[in-house]
Amino acid sequence: MRIALLGQPNSGKSTIFNSVAGYKSVTSNFPGKTVEYTKTRVNFEGNYFELVDLPGTYSLTSFDLAELEARNYILSGEVDVVINVVDASLLSRGLELTIQLLELEIPSLLVLNMIDDAKKKGIYIDREKLEKVLGIPVVETIAVKGVGLKDVFRIAIEVGKKSQKPKPLLYRKDIEKVIDKLLSILPSELDSLGLPKRFLTVKLLEKDTYIIEKVLTKVPSFKEEIEKHQRILEKTHGKPSDLVISGERHALSMDIFERVAKVKKPKINFVERIDDFVLNKYLGYLILVFVLYAYFNFIFKIGVLIETPITSLFDQFNTFVSAHLGQTLIASILEGIVQGLSGGIGIVIPYLVPFLIGLSLLEDIGYLPRIAYLMDVFMHRIGLHGKAIIPFILGYGCNVPAIMATRILEEPRDRFITAFLATFIPCSARITIIYGLAAYFISPNAALFIFFFNILVIAIIGKILNKILPFSSPGMILEIPRYHIPSIKVVLAKTWLRMKDFIYIAWPLLIVGSIILSLLQYYKIDILLNKILTPITVWILGLPQFVGTTLIFGVLRKELSMIMLMQAAGTNDIIKVMTPEQIFVFTIFVVFYIPCVATIAVLAGEFGWKKSTVITIFSIGLASFLGFIFRLWFLFF
């Protein structure tokens, strides 16, 4: 049996999913974060089923990629039961999705999640009455506390076994008449689309571009009939037919809401009071700067505290090894292993862990959409809107989820520009390098400068891209969710989920990379590679020749660049072999040059190889140019 979780953004689907799946799906207090679906096999009280967490969707009208994906998955015919999760405190809006789900005629149940929040807001829902009205089972839950979740799965399995198909709810008579009329003349060729007839008809009247296109490729001549029926609705209601249908759904869900829920006076809206400061015209920006400043300082303070003793320990070990084993093959392999290990423990983890914990906290509290609100004005300067800030912020963690998150943007052009720019955001690996090299060997201010310089460069490229690809995006429409008190369990679990990637994939790669570099050095092959790269490393950037190989490894994973640098230099104390100016130029180059392999692959997946290659080549050029500029700067000033 296959069960899918469907719901509007922030309704708590992922929380329910994670309660049975261990921790596989990233929840976040930001609308539309889950852009891909996650699956898990579940054994619930002796019943096996597959559970699928779909991206949050406001409606089943195809609008953005995430919603389209969710809808296509449900329509694929592979889903036996749909668990429709609704934020009970937003029941009336949530029902609009439920009404569309019923039109799909797939066995379903409704979950009233966050029922405690609803009560706090003064909304009391008559569960049994709602069951009668909708004709499907309704379960109350508080997913974060695990309340009611067993009932959800028990009932879902029951519904699936019986395979009860729900009946669509009816609209007002005159609209039903038009639906009936169009439905009765649907050409039989459309049966192969595998869509329920009523759903198909409603979507045609609602001008759903995706479905209309599908229908017209099958039966081009049907266009006239579709438009004729749309016009009937438009004439009688005096507004576009899509508004007639969605307005009808809106009225229907309000009507249901009024029948099943009692609304009492809510307690004082404390959250809005917080927003008086956080979203304030002036204070809001001050708070934003303070939060980000505190965040990056927090990372650095913790990082240094851990890094210093650990790296010096490993350095001592390496001197010990070379003193006792000399220049043998075994010694150089051993040295490689130790360098790889120490790079992980001593350099990456101290900065990565606090960064990820901080990001999870900001996410779960609900601060990210508020940043989008504050930044909207500035993002318009580079032809984007507020929502585009989210991929950028995620990019500071890792560029891969950042590029995936561009799916929350509606326009393909906005998505491409945002992804293009996001690849220049220093990800945690590059932040590690900025901290580990620039801050550690030069000064914390040098690191801070690089962060600001990076933003400046991104803004300039953004401006240029905006000129090349002119288009005024429709602007931001973004839900600002309530604040949530983050649960420590969720924050740690999420940090671990994101760390896992580093520990299982990057770290072994680091160690293998270190060994390979050791071997290259032992057999003197690195000299050849370094020579090939001399035009860039020495001629343009004025760096020592030995940095060449490290840059090649950096393409695999950015953090490899620094660790390999230490390996190639033969010491963790880089300042002994490079001047502060050279360290600075090297850091600048690494921050901007080629996105890592994983990022290139995701870019290609989202935008095609051509665009991915363009971005890659551009970034090498940009990094060389910027490195060169700084080299000249140091030469003359």
For the bound state, the minimum distance from the C-beta of residue 250 to other proteins, rounded and expressed in Å, comes to 5
Q: Which is nearer to other proteins, 263 or 632 (CB)?
A: 263
For the bound state, the minimum distance from the C-beta of residue 280 to other proteins, rounded and expressed in Å, comes to 8
Instruction: Give dist(CA 437, CA 583) in Å, integer.
Output: 7
For the bound state, the minimum distance from the C-beta of residue 84 to other proteins, rounded and expressed in Å, comes to 15
Q: Which is nearer to other proteins, 18 or 473 (CB)?
A: 473
Query: Which residue is associated with the tokens 């479905």?
Result: 211
Q: Which is nearer to other proteins, 146 or 475 (CB)?
A: 475
Please state the length of the chain: 637
Cβ distance 403 to 603 under 8 Å?
yes
Q: Which is nearer to other proteins, 219 or 480 (CB)?
A: 480
Instruction: Give dist(CA 143, CA 548) in Å, integer.
Output: 52
Residue 390 CA, distance from chain mean position: 8
Q: Which is nearer to other proteins, 121 or 557 (CB)?
A: 121
* Residue 102 token pair: 């019923």
For the bound state, the minimum distance from the C-beta of residue 396 to other proteins, rounded and expressed in Å, comes to 22
Angle at 391 between CA 387 and CA 395, to 5 degrees: 155
Provide the β-strand partners of residue 138: 110
Q: Which is nearer to other proteins, 377 or 505 (CB)?
A: 377
Instruction: Give dist(CA 207, CA 129) in Å, integer.
Output: 33
For the bound state, the minimum distance from the C-beta of residue 468 to other proteins, rounded and expressed in Å, comes to 21
Per-residue DSSP letter, 335:
H
Q: Which residues bind other proteins (CB under 8 A)?
A: 58-59, 61, 63, 89-90, 92-93, 96, 121, 207, 209, 239-240, 242-243, 246-247, 250, 266, 269, 272, 275, 279, 281-282, 369, 372-374, 376-377, 380, 385-386, 410, 472, 474-482
Q: Which is nearer to other proteins, 107 or 284 (CB)?
A: 284
3 state SS for 558-599: HHHHHHHHHHHHCCCCHHHCCCHHHHHHHHHHHHHCCCCHHH
- C-alpha distance from residue 125 to each of 113, 122, 128, 596 (Å): 12, 10, 9, 51
For the bound state, the minimum distance from the C-beta of residue 425 to other proteins, rounded and expressed in Å, comes to 23
What is the secondary structure of 263-287 as a DSSP string?
A: E-PPPP-HHHHHHHHHT-TTHHHHH
Q: Which is nearer to other proteins, 200 or 563 (CB)?
A: 200
Provide the β-strand partners of residue 44: 47
Cβ distance 52 to 79 under 8 Å?
yes
Residues 632/425/361/145 CA torsion (nearest 10 deg): -160
- For residue 566, give the nearest of 323, 349, 336 by alpha carbon: 336
The C-alpha R_g of the chain, in whole angstroms, comes to 28
Q: Which is nearer to other proteins, 259 or 489 (CB)?
A: 259
Cβ distance 34 to 363 under 8 Å?
no
Q: Which is nearer to other proteins, 58 or 435 (CB)?
A: 58
* Residue 202 token pair: 């409603």
Residue 357, H or E segment = helix 349-365
Q: Which is nearer to other proteins, 90 or 422 (CB)?
A: 90
For the bound state, the minimum distance from the C-beta of residue 363 to other proteins, rounded and expressed in Å, comes to 17
For the bound state, the minimum distance from the C-beta of residue 543 to other proteins, rounded and expressed in Å, comes to 42
Q: Which is nearer to other proteins, 377 or 597 (CB)?
A: 377
For the bound state, the minimum distance from the C-beta of residue 481 to other proteins, rounded and expressed in Å, comes to 8
Provide the β-strand partners of residue 113: 87
For the bound state, the minimum distance from the C-beta of residue 129 to other proteins, rounded and expressed in Å, comes to 20
CA terminus-to-terminus distance, the chain: 70
* Residue 574 token pair: 């880089």
For the bound state, the minimum distance from the C-beta of residue 557 to other proteins, rounded and expressed in Å, comes to 37
For the bound state, the minimum distance from the C-beta of residue 603 to other proteins, rounded and expressed in Å, comes to 25
